[in-house]
Structure formats: C-alpha cells, structure tokens
Structure 1
Amino acid sequence: MWQKSPDHHSLSEEENRALKKAPSLRFRFILAGVLVIGIIAGLAINLIFDYSQKLADLSYDRLLRSALLQMDENVSLIRNEASIDIPWSAFATLAQAQEDRVFYKVESVKQGFITGYQDLGTPTGPSVLDEIQFYDQEYSGEMVRFAWIERYLTDPETADTVRIVLGQTRLSREEMSTAITQRAVEVVVFIALVAIALIAIGSHLVLRPLHRIEWALEERVMGDLTPLDINTPKETHHLKVAINHFMARLQTNLEQLENYTADAAHQLRTPLASLRALAENARDNISTAGTSPHAQYQALENIVKQCDALSQTVTLLLNQAVVSHRLQTHRLEPINLLEPIRASCRAQAVTALHQGVQLSLDCGLTTACILGDGFAIQQMMQNLIENAVRYSAVGANNATEVIVQVRAFEHFYRVEVIDYGGGIPDVEKERVFERFYRGRYDIAGSGVGLAMVKDIVDHHGAKIEILDTHPKGTTFQVDFRKFSVDGDTV
C-alpha cells in the first residue's frame, strides 16, 4: 500500500529512467505560454513597425505638404508664360530634416520643363487638379518620398497647367521610425519576459493541487483506502473523484479477495477434516484383526468419494475465482447466448445420466445476441443445471428429467432451468442466493454456487426469479436483455 515516498535519489534505477523519460506537465505549460506570448509579441512588433512607418510618414509628409504649398503659391503667368519664384521658406521648412536631401521639378503642359531637376521622374498616378498626392520612388540611388500637385492657371490671354514635384529622402523618416520601433520593442519584450515569469510562477500554483493530492496519498498509512477529503479546484475535482472511485473498486476487490480466501478456507476445512477421519477409520479397520475385505473396500470407497467431493469443491472455488476476475476486468461483448448454454448442457449431460436424470435442451432459436461474458454465463448455467440435477435425483421417484428452455420475447431472452424435484419452500427462495446457505444438508453441496449465479446475473443486468414447477419442482428463470444489430440494447 502507500507509504511516504522517498526522494528521487532513493528511487530504483528503473523508476529513475522512467522519471527522466516522463514528459513534464509544467514544462509543457510554460512552453505553450512562451509560444503564445512569442506569437503575440511577434504580431505586436510587426504592427508597431507598420505603425511607426506610417507615423513617420505622417509627420514628415506635413512638412513636405507645407513646402509644396508655399511653392505652389508662387506660381504665376507672366507674359503668357508660367513662372515660379522658389521661396526660401519652403526649403527652410524641409531643412528641419538636416540629413535629408531635397529635389524638385516644375513643368507645364505648354512649356515643358521650367526649373529644378530635369531628370526627376514623372508621377505615374492619375492627376487630380489642386490635390496633393504622395508616392515613393528611387532617385539618385536613394529612396525618395515625393509630393506633387497640378494647378490650372488662367489669364485673359492664355491658360496652362503647371505640375510641381517636390521630393525628400527618407533618412529622417527611417530614423524616426527606428527610434519608435526600438522603444516599443523594448516595452513589448519587457512585458513578454514579465508574462513568462508570471506563467512560470503560475504553473507552480496551477499544479499545486496535484501535489496536494500526491501528498495526501503519500501520508496515508498502509491499507487506508478511504476517499480523499481535500478541497480541490474544479479542474482537479474529476481527478479526485476518479481516484476515489478507483480506491473504492480496489477496496471492493480486496474485500472480495478476503471473502474468497474465507470461502476457500471454509469449503476446504470440512472435507479435509472428513477425509482425515475416513482415512484414520480405514487405517484402524485395517490394523484391527478380523476386518473383512468388504469393510476395507467400503472404507476406501468412502475416501474416494470424499476425494471426489473435495475435487469438486476445489474446481468450484477456482471457477468462482476466475469468474470474479473476469467480471472485474472484462468488458461485456456481443455474444450468442445459445453457445454457452449448449456447452453447459453438453458438459452436464453425462453426469446427469449417471444420476438417472435426463437433461434436454428446448430451444427453437438459431441465435440470441446479448451483451455478456460467455465463460461467466457458461459457469452460471452449469451451476443451475448441476443444482437441478442434484435435487431431482434424490428422494423423488418421478424426478428423472431436467429441461433447459430458451425463448425469445420482444425485449429479452428468457432462459429457464426446470426440474421436477422436491422444490424450494417459499420462505427459502429469498435466501438460496446467500453465500453458504443450504436448504438441505443431507444433499452434497457447497452453498456458494447459487451465490455465484446471482453475481453473474447482476453483472449482466439480467433478472432471475425462482418459480414453482407444476405439479412439483423448481424453475430458475433468467431474463437477458436483447442486443440489436446496430449496437443498442433493446
């Protein structure tokens, strides 16, 4: 049973290897948290980078717009020709970005190039009069941010359309964007590290209820299988309930083992004592002068009969142990109910004939599908048939037949074991399934066969009744639920 667990240095080599190979729930919890935080941090940094770029463009585009408007205000028509006087204030505005260079070009539809950098590219987008537009383009080996506007000029004699293009390199913009991104990334990384640290601490607190359950089990004395009575969170409540159910099943198994041991001791003690007494009696008769060979033969015959009875008892106890184990460890499966019934009838037919009883099977079915354990049902039928044969063959002149009958109803199959013996009084019908109860001690028996029958019937969710056979005798009637082809009980 459980004892105080030693530390891992005291574990066996095999347990240490298993401990090393075992996955860590805390590590998985922290790793999952780190991955989630990493993904969120990556998305946040990407968004920050985009935002910083847009913020830098927004700030410096205002300067570029202001300078372009100042240039636009100085465009006019002089003697039917477009002219511009570049104001120094426009370049003073752009000079706030000290590391950037400025490019410009002024041209008209009629005159073509007027002033500035003639090789400056022409905007590719559609033009909208009197509306400033922005675009990025590489010029002179650098990426340049351009702003441009088209203006329609008129006077009494002529009209012309003038385009002004003003560009500024992106060095200051990139510097501003990098500064914003770096500061924001530092904040995000700091928050991520703090979150990871909190997850590491939180994982310890989250797994603490599991350690409480572990400590509660380790502190128990040997043999203590009482339910755990500690407060646990909802997430570990089902684990606690499962452990309690497991300990309840283990307690039931231990009790059954103790009962089986007591049964075995009880069943073996009496025939062994009787066998010893018979052997001593045979020894005394042989040593006594004048003992006839017939008396010696009879004494040895009694010993043989007692050995047979002891063998039957041992077989019954072994079958009971096997059935008890199967009922606890094997799941019920779809089986043909007729197969274990036929096997039981074949196994008991010869024994019944030796006792002057004819065993017959009355069944018009070809198959009868139920959820069950074939071995357990066969043991149940053997006990019922053996019990019917035993009580039919004693003290009843006409009790020479035992009938096993199988019939089908709408929702269940009915199995009946019918004998014509002396019957069972009504006051004893409720007690025959009690362990060690025997209605008649003049007939050989152990008193555990029908108790095992009741256990098997209950495990299969079946129903058993004891009825009177007319004109006399007893009928054991067992109803098993049908199992349909689609996997549902009917």
Structure 2
Amino acid sequence: MWQKSPNHRALSEDEEKKALENAPSLRFRFILAGVLVIGIIAGLAINLIFDYSQKLADLSYDRLLRSALLQMDENVGLMRNEVSIDIPWSAFATLAQAEEDRVFYKVESLEQGFITGYQDLDSQPPQPPVLDQIQFYNQEYSGEMVRFAWVQRHITDPETAQTVRIILGQTRLSREEMASAVTQKAVEVVVFIALVAITLIIIGSHLVLRPLHRIERALEERAMGDLTPIDINTPKETHHLKVAINHFMERLQSNLEQLENYTADAAHQLRTPLASLRALAENARDNTSPERQHQALENIVKQCDTLSQTVTLLLNQAVVSHRLQTHRLEPIDLLAPITASCREQAVAALHQGVLLSLDCDLKETMILGDAFSIQQMMQNLIENAVRYSRADVERGTEIIVQVSEFERFYRIKVIDYGVGIPDIEKERVFERFYRGRYDIAGSGVGLAMVKDIVDHHSARIQILDTEPKGTTFQVDFAKLRFNEDTV
C-alpha cells in the first residue's frame, strides 16, 4: 500500500525555484574544496620558495664573503712579534660585485688588541668560536642588518704566538634583492599553475557530474508509468545510485501491482454481496406478504453481516500488505499474537458450536517477526478451520491450536476435525479467490494472505490430514538466535 506523509503536497513552480535556489550545490562544493586544497598547497609552496630563495641568496653571496675573508686571512702575519696585515684590494673588489652594499671589517688580536678596521665593531657569532672555522650569521650593526663572516686562528713563529680574529660584514641589500627576484618568479609560476588547476577543476566538475545529468535526463524523458530499470552506462561512483534508483522503481512497480491486485480484490469481493443485497432489497420491496418481507429482511441482515466481514477482511489485508512493505521484522514473542487470536476467535467459534483450545506449555518463543501480521495469519487459519468444521456437524466441533518447540524452530498447528481438504486441492488453496467448495461461505482471499505472511517471515507452511478426519495447517517459524539475528 502507498505510504504518504499527512503534510505532503506537490510543490508549485515558484516553490520549486525557491527550493532550487536554497539547495546546496554539489558542483560549488567540489570547486570550493578544490580551490581550498590548491590554495593551501600554493601557500605552503610560496612559503617554501621564500625560505629557499633566502637560503639561495645567502649561499651565493656567502661564497663571495668567504673568498674576501680568506684573502684577508692570507695577508695576516707576524712582524717583530706584532701582528700585521696588508689588506689586498682584490678582497674588496670581490665584494664590490654587490654595488649597493656596504662593507665592514675588523682585525684584532686577543693579545695585542685592535689592529685595523672599524674599532666599534664588536660582533660575536651565535655559536661558540672554533679555531680556523668560518662562521656566517646575521646581526644588526650601524642601523642595518649585516651578514658577517667570522674566523679566528693562531699565528706562531719561533719567538711568539698570538690569536688573530677577523670579522668581515656586508649589508643584505643585494641578497634581499636577489631573494625577492627569485621569489617573484617562483610565485608567478605557482599562481599560474594554481589558476590552471582551478580551471581544470571547474571543467572536471562538469565532467564528473555529467553521469548524474544523464540519469536525470533518462528519468525526465520517460513516459508516465514507465518503471523499467535504467539501462545506461555509468561510472563506478554513480553505479550504486543507478542500482538504488532501479531497486526503488522495482519496489514501486511491486507496490503498484499490489495496489492493482488489492483494487481487483475489493471489486471482486464487494460486487457479489452488493448485487445480492440489491436483489434481496428488491424482493422485500415487491413482496406484499408480511412473512416474506420479514424473511427477506432477515436475509438482508445476514447479507449485511457478510458484507461487513468482507470489508473487514479487505481492510485487514490492506494493513497487512502495508506492514509487510514498510515494517522491519523485530524480535517478538510468538505466543503473544497466537494467544490474542485465540482469545478473539474463541467466543465467535463457540457461538457457531465449535470449541477452540490452545495447547502450549512454553513460556517464551522468541522469533523475528511482525506481531500484527502473525495475528492476522492465525485469525484467518482459525476462521477457516471453524468454517470447515461447521460443515461436519457430527465431528467438527473442536479446533486445537498447538505450539511446540524444536531445536531450530517453533511449530504451530491449527487442527480441525471438519470435512477436510482433498489432496488435489491442497496445492491450490493458497491461490487468490480459489475456493474448493462453494457451498461453504468464504472469500478465497484469507489463505492467500496467510501465504504472503508466511513467505515474508521466511517460514514454512504445510497442509496435513487430521486423523481420522479433518485438516491440519502446520507453520514453522525459525527461532531467534541472538548471536546472529540481532547483530
């Protein structure tokens, strides 16, 4: 049966447009995610480029600074037990390649003191001094950031030994200019690559979403009522969506078929009693004899009862059909719906001269099932047993409902001692509208509903002969295993 929300209604065109405007865009999210990822990668790349350009500039100009420092160091010597230095012009010519930078230097002896250069240049390397090892570091001097090269070594001769320290510094203007130029070029390349990647993402988003548009067009171009499966090639990522849509249309087709069957059942079941009711009413109208009119009215009352039972059966069938489609099986005690059915049918059976009894010693019978559906199943089985028991007034006065336990299942038996069912008809009694005997009242729908309920619960039903006479309906329900069924 159809399931419809009480607040559900079709959207107008304006409401659909508004809903479309407020709906989140999958393409926008895809592009935004791609832009964010590319932006993060580009930011990290630019940061690495900036650090690399600084190191590259320092490496290039440190080589010049080292060359000038070594030239100065080669011209340091001892003369008359005093340190002397003749600074070569080539040292400053090397550093003069950076035209905008200024050069500072200082030569001193730990024993003799200041020798030459800038006397206020008191620069110390951040690392502990190591003899004959050149250290490079940045330090502010004279209001500017300066790159210093620092070295300290021993000078010895036969008469004396002294420790000489040479400090040579150069401002960072050329270094910063070189680092800026390298960074600018690299950033331009990174930005260009990022823009190309974003453009490819925008184009790729269109290609990625194309299968969804193909599915959309395939559904929109279909004729009304066409619920055949979608048969188009789609990527793996949209294959499950296509399968889900096909499964949904398959369930919808099944619902439509069941709705058609239910409509046919209702028309079939209501047409005959309504026609009979009309005929009885016309008979009562045309008869002038009070006795005949009274008898016709009695027949009308009986026919109304039959019609009421038919309507109740159809409503129960609709409810059961709906529950079988929309409700999942859950752990229940099988005895609860069986006991409820026996209590409901006991009085009605007794009024018809049939004694209904329940034979069960079990305390609990847990299965996976739907209690309402099982109760309707038992009600139909008991009503069917009562109906066929009444046909045999000599023996058909008792119906027994038995519930027994086996290792893997519970067994329900509805035993009657009525007229029985011939073997040739046992295979057909579950067919819709099939009735073995038309002299016995019935609709031909109840046992078909019983079979639907049994199949939905993956149970098994059999029709056996009762000794010495009658029919036994036997239904087996699998036990609930908590280590498997409840996972």
Q: TM-score, normalising length from structure 1?
A: 0.94
Provide the C-alpha distance between the structure 1 equivalents of 2:303 and 2:393, rounded to a whole number of angstroms. Answer: 24
**Structure 2: gaps spanning 5 or more residues:** 1-10
Shift of 1:284: 2.2
Q: Which residue of the partner structure matches residue 305 of structure 2?
A: 308
* Mean Cα deviation higher: 199-208 or 325-334: 325-334
Counterpart residue number, 1:206: 208
Query: Structure 2 vs 1, CA of residues 124 and 218 (structure 1 numbering), >3 Å: closer, same or farther?
Result: closer
Aligned AA for 1:338? L
Aligned to 2:7: none
What residue identity is the alignment partner of 1:379?
Q
- Partners of 1:250 and 1:331 in 2: CA distance: 17
Maintained 8 Å contact 1:388/1:402 = yes
Q: Relative to structure 1, is the Cα distance of residues 176 and 401 closer, same or farther in structure 2, using a 3 angstrom cutoff?
A: same
Aligned counterpart, 2:446: 449
- Alpha carbons of structure 1 residues 222 and 54: separation in structure 2 relative to 1, 3 Å: same
Tell me which of 281, 285, 288 is aligned to 2:287: 285
- Residue pair 1:129, 1:151 contacting (<8 A) in 2 also: yes
Residue 323 (structure 1) aligns with: 320
User: Relative to structure 1, is the Cα distance of residues 132 and 432 closer, same or farther in structure 2, using a 3 angstrom cutoff?
Assistant: same
Q: 1:15 to 1:220 in 2, by over 3 A?
A: same
Are 2:383 and 1:382 equivalent residues in the alignment? Answer: no
Work out the CA distance in 1 between the residues paired with 2:286 and 2:313.
32
Contact 1:383/1:449 (8 A) holds in 2: yes
Mean Cα displacement is larger for which, 165-174 or 365-374?
365-374
Of residues 110-119 and 43-52 in structure 1, the stretch that sits farther from structure 2 once superposed is 110-119
Q: How far does the alpha carbon of each residue in 1:111-149 deviate from its partner, in whole angstroms, 9 at most, with x for none?
A: 122221222222242222222111111111221111111
Tell whether the 8 Å contact from 2:125 to 2:135 is kept in structure 1 after alignment: no
My pick for the range that moved more, 253-262 or 408-417, is: 408-417
Give 1:451-470 correspondences, 5 Å limit.
451-470=448-467
Residue 431, structure 1, aligned to residue 438, structure 2: no
SS in 2 for 1:421: coil
Q: Residues of 1 paired with 2:190 and 2:126: CA distance?
A: 40
Structure-1 separation of matches of 2:477 and 2:114: 104
Kindly indicate whether the alpha-carbon contact (under 8 Å) linking 1:82 and 1:108 is maintained by their aligned counterparts in 2: yes
Over residues 184-204 of structure 1, what are the superposed CA-to-partner deviations in whole Å (9 max), with x where a residue is unaligned?
111111111111111111101
Q: C-alpha root-mean-square deviation of aligned residues, in Å?
A: 1.5
What's 1:38 paired with? 39
Alpha-carbon distance in structure 2 between the residues aligned to 1:411 and 1:130: 91
Structure 1 stretches lacking a partner, 5+ long: 1-9
SS in 2 for 1:406: strand
Report the equivalent of 1:59: 60
Greater mean alpha carbon deviation, residues 238-247 or residues 111-120: 111-120
Give the superposition deviation at 1:416.
1.5
Question: Does the 8 Å CA contact 1:333/1:372 hold for their aligned counterparts?
Answer: yes
**1:165-204 correspondence runs (5 A):** 165-204=167-206
The 5 Å alignment of 1:230-309 reads 230-286=232-288, 291=289, 293-309=290-306
Q: Distance in 2 between matches of 1:122 and 1:375?
A: 92
Please state how far the C-alpha of 1:351 moved relative to its aligned partner: 0.7
Contact 2:354–2:397 under 8 Å retained in 1: yes
Q: Distance in 1 between matches of 2:126 and 2:216?
A: 74
> Aligned residue for 1:6?
none
Aligned partner of 1:101 in structure 2 is 102
Distance in 2, matches of 1:330 and 1:118, equals 95
**Contact 1:396/1:422, CA 8 A, preserved across alignment:** no
Task: After TM superposition, give the deviation of residue 485 of structure 1 in Å.
Answer: 4.0
Contact 2:126 2:137 in 1 (8 A): no
Query: Which residue number in structure 2 is paired with residue 339 of structure 1?
Result: 336
**Partners in 1 of 2:22 and 2:126 — Cα distance?**
65
Q: Cα deviation per residue 1:263-312 (whole Å; 9 max; x = unaligned)?
A: 111111111111112222222223xxxx3x44332221111111111111
Do 1:482 and 1:489's aligned partners in 2 also have CA atoms closer than 8 Å? no
Q: Match of 1:248, as an amino acid?
A: E
1:125 equivalenced with 2:122 (yes/no): no
- Give, in angstroms, the shift of residue 422 of structure 1: 1.6
Structure 1 contact 74–85 (Cα < 8 Å) conserved: yes
Aligned-partner Cα distance in 1 for 2:14–2:366: 50
Q: Structure 1 residues 438, 260: CA separation in 2 closer, same or farther (over 3 Å shift)?
A: same
CA deviation after TM superposition for structure 1 residue 408, in Å: 2.1
* TM-score normalised by structure 2 residue count: 0.95
Residue 7 of structure 1: aligned partner: none
CA distance in 1, matches of 2:333, 2:45: 65
CA deviations 1:59-85 (Å, max 9, x no partner) are: 000000010010011000111111111
CA deviation string 1:90-131 (max 9, x = no partner) = 111111111111111111221122221222222242222222
Q: Which residue of 1 aligns with 2:4?
A: none
For the pair 1:115 / 2:108, whether they are aligned, the reply is no
Q: Which residue of 2 aligns with 1:86?
A: 87
Q: Alpha-carbon deviation of 1:483?
A: 1.8
Distance of 1:240 and 1:55 partners within structure 2: 56
The alpha carbon displacement at 1:486 in A equals 5.0
Please name the residue that 2:23 is paired with: 22
Residue 153 (structure 1) aligns with: 155
Secondary structure class of the residue paired with 1:388: helix
SS at 2:44 equivalent:
helix
Q: Which letter does structure 2 place at the counterpart of 1:267?
A: Q
Structure-2 separation of matches of 1:126 and 1:397: 121
Give the whole-Å Cα distance in 2 for the aligned partners of 1:13 and 1:433: 51
Equivalences for residues 359-438 of structure 1 within 5 A: 359-438=356-435
Quote the Cα distance in structure 1 between the aligned partners of 2:293 and 2:451.
Answer: 43
Structure 2 counterpart of 1:367, one-letter code:
E
Which SS does the other structure have where 1:130 is aligned? coil
The structural deviation recorded for 1:25 is: 0.4
1:4 equivalent in structure 2:
none
State the percentage of identical aligned residues: 83
- 1:489 offset after TM fit, Å? 6.2
What per-residue deviation string (whole Å, max 9, x for no partner) do you get for residues 140-159 of structure 1? Answer: 12211111112221111111
Greater shift after overlay, 477-486 or 175-184? 477-486
Distance, in Å, in 2 between the alignment partners of 1:251 and 1:335 is 30
Deviation at 1:395, TM superposition (A): 2.1
Matched letter for residue 32 of structure 1: A
> Alignment partner for residue 224 of structure 2, among 222, 227, 239?
222
